[in-house]
Chains A and B, each alone.
Chain A
Amino acid sequence: AQSVSQHNHHVILSEAASLELGCNYSYGGTVNLFWYVQYPGQHLQLLLKYFSGDPLVKGIKGFEAEFIKSKFSFNLRKPSVQWSDTAEYFCAVNGLGNEKLTFGTGTRLTIIP
C-alpha cells in the first residue's frame, strides 16, 4: 500500500521568507510524485510533478521540489514566498501503472504581509 506523510500541518511565514514543506512517501516500487495547491475557495491545481529524470523539478509560481529516492522524500521549496502563496498544499504519489493518487493530509500555509 502506498502512503504519504506531511509532517507540517500549519506553517506561518512572513513575506519573502524561504519555504520548505516536507513530504515523505511509502511505496515499494517506482513512483510518480506530485504537489497540488488549493487556494481558498478554489479547486486543486497541479504545482509540479516528478515522473523520471532530473530529481529537481520546477513548477509554476517559482516552486520547486527535489526527489530524494534514498529518503523517500519529495520536499517542496520556494526561496521567497508571497502573500498570494497562502493556500493548502498537498503532496501526492502514485505507483507506476497505478491510477490511484494517494494524498497526504496537507499543509496549510499562511503568509503574513
Chain B
Amino acid sequence: DTGVSQNPRHKITKRGQNVTFRCDPISEHNRLYWYRQTLGQGPEFLTYFQNEAQLEKSRLLSDRFSAERPKGSFSTLEIQRTEQGDSAMYLCASSQGQGVTEAFFGQGTRLTVV
C-alpha cells in the first residue's frame, strides 16, 4: 500500500499521559498536514509542513501539542499531559507540488483519553 500510513490506529491512554503518533506520507510528497476530527464534525486543520519546515499552526494546537517532520519525510504529533478533550481522530494527509494541489488522507489514529 503506497498511501498515507498512520500508526498506531488506536490509542487509549490515561489522562495526563503523553502520546505520540506517527505519519508516513506518500513517498516524495513534500507537504504534510495534521487534522483532528471529533464525532459529528469535519476534520479541523492543526498544522502543515512543507518539507521539514512547519509553516502554519492552528490556534487549536495548544502548547501541549508539538509536531515535527525531521528530514522532511515522516512526521510525529505529540500530545503532552493528555486531557479528555483531546479524544478524537487525528488525521494525516500529504500532497505534492506547489500552488493548487490535493491532499491524500491516511486512515487516522483514534485517541481515547480515559
A residues apposed to B, CB below 8 Å: 4, 32, 34, 36, 42-46, 49, 51, 90, 92, 96-97, 99-106
Contact = CB atoms under 8 A, between A and B. Distances in A.
B85 interface: no
Contacts, number: 53
B56 A44 contact: no
A36 B104 CA distance: 10
What bracket does the count of chain B residues touching chain A fall in?
Answer: 20 to 34
A99 B31 contact: yes
Interface of B: 3-4, 31, 33, 35, 40-45, 48, 50, 55-56, 58, 91, 93, 99-100, 102-108
A106 B3 CA distance: 23
For the complex of A and B, the 5 pairs showing the least CB-CB separation, nearest first, are: A103-B42, A44-B105, A43-B107, A100-B45, A51-B100
